Amino acid sequence: MKFELLATDGAARAGRLTTTNGVVDTPMFMPVGTHAAVKALGPDDLRAAGAQIVLANTYHLFLRPGHELVRELGGLHRFMGWSGAILTDSGGFQVFSLSKLRKISEAGVEFRSPVDGSTHFLSPEIAVEVQQALGADIIHPLDECLAYPVSRLDAERSLELTLRWAARSRAAHAGPGRTSQAMFGIVQGGVDADLRRQATRATVDLGFDGYAIGGMAVGEPKPTMYDLTELVAGLLPADQPRYLMGVGKPDDLVHSVARGVDMFDCVLPTRNARNGQAFTADGPLTLKQARYTRDQAPLDAACGCYACRGFSRAYLRHLFMAGELLSHRLLTLHNVTFFLGLMREMRAAIVAGAFGGFQARFFARYAVAHGEESGDTPSP
């Protein structure tokens, strides 16, 4: 993997990540393909939306269909028919957020599968082995994710464990099964600035191909998230990519790019599509609202996606209200197109040295029309 920094504008960066499976222009958003599929979209749709890289969840694929099967079938790219880049997380976040009866030890974490109740064990070494079998272009070390809020003592203890696991992951990745996969370190440390600083330095000292900022968007106030992102990004090597995990809303993306982040993933565009929410430059719109019943306009007049070229809000609302599966595909396609278009606009603004003006125009339009609140994720 190669990362080139092409331009900066303040802390904002435009770059190019070259992976075994294609180029990723940064800043970039990665649609989430939990089970080796971005919900409701085929690889054809993803390409049409402008995706260059997707995220797949190690935890889910470990449980079903199993990493050995994916390896046997030629790895994730071939399995899911996606010729672009793929990033896998380590499974840590899901073990801690989705599994019951987990038991953490120095060795690793034991947990019960929500699919069939079976018991599984992930260690840093096993997480690397699983991700090697899956074959993504970018992989991650197993980490412990804490809920928010948490005591300083718990945060310290957790960070120490995450760092020891990171060192073991790095060693496993450099071991006999070594692949050409890149590995990003994950910076944890909770909401304490000192701990985050310490976490960043210690993670960078281990030496990874890029750095993920983890444990954000878990319930902390937005200003805290922005401040910590700025803090961590400022301590990371300038010549390596930075990935803010699980973020976020369109305005979060702009705020975070302004603070030096290069890569993002979030279920927001895909999950909210299935709840009938479409993102536009004026803010999100919720198709279940009766005001769209007779609305002949496309979701977003400026959008070139298939949903906006062929269908009215009235029709898309009808599909959503009738529970039609096509609604999920069309709204997801639009939302992913919108998120990727936003990233493209940010790249262009950074390259042009005009990111300040871009931000002003974006927030004037996006915030005024609908505001932060209406962008909140409805429950799935």
> Would you tell me which residues interact with its own copies (CB under 8 A)?
35-44, 60, 64-65, 69, 72-73, 79-81, 293-294, 296, 306, 310-312, 314-315, 318-319, 321-322, 324-326, 328-330
Q: Which is nearer to its own copies, 83 or 224 (CB)?
A: 83
Q: Which is nearer to its own copies, 68 or 372 (CB)?
A: 68
3-state secondary structure of 291: helix
Amino acid at 196: R
Active site residue 192: no
In contact, 213 and 242? CB cutoff 8 Å: yes
Closest C-alpha to 253, from 143, 368, 347, 369:
347
Q: Which is nearer to its own copies, 163 or 307 (CB)?
A: 307
Active site residue 89: yes
Neighbours of 237 (CB within 10 A): 13
Angle formed at CA 19 by CA 96 and CA 27, multiple of 5 degrees: 70
Q: Which is nearer to its own copies, 2 or 294 (CB)?
A: 294
Q: Which is nearer to its own copies, 64 or 291 (CB)?
A: 64
Q: What minimum distance in Å lies between the beta carbon of 270 and its own copies?
A: 10
CA dist 75 and 302 (Å) reads: 37
Task: Give the active site residue among 89, 137, 209, 262.
Answer: 89
Q: Which is nearer to its own copies, 176 or 323 (CB)?
A: 323
Q: What minimum distance in Å lies between the beta carbon of 317 and its own copies?
A: 8
Task: Give the active site residue among 45, 209, 265, 300.
Answer: 265
Q: Where are the beta strands (DSSP E) in the chain?
A: 2-9, 12-19, 22-26, 28-30, 53-56, 85-88, 100-104, 109-112, 119-122, 138-139, 182-187, 210-213, 242-244, 263-265, 277-280, 283-286
Q: What minimum distance in Å lies between the beta carbon of 306 and its own copies?
A: 7
Backbone angles phi, psi at 55, to 5 degrees: -100, 140
Q: What minimum distance in Å lies between the beta carbon of 90 and its own copies?
A: 20
Residues 6+ apart with CB under 8 A from 351: 6, 7, 14
Q: Most distant CA pair in the chain: distance in Å?
A: 62
Q: What minimum distance in Å lies between the beta carbon of 64 and its own copies?
A: 6
CA dist 232 and 251 (Å) reads: 19
Q: What minimum distance in Å lies between the beta carbon of 334 and its own copies?
A: 12
Residues 6+ apart with CB under 8 A from 290: none
Active site residues: 89, 265
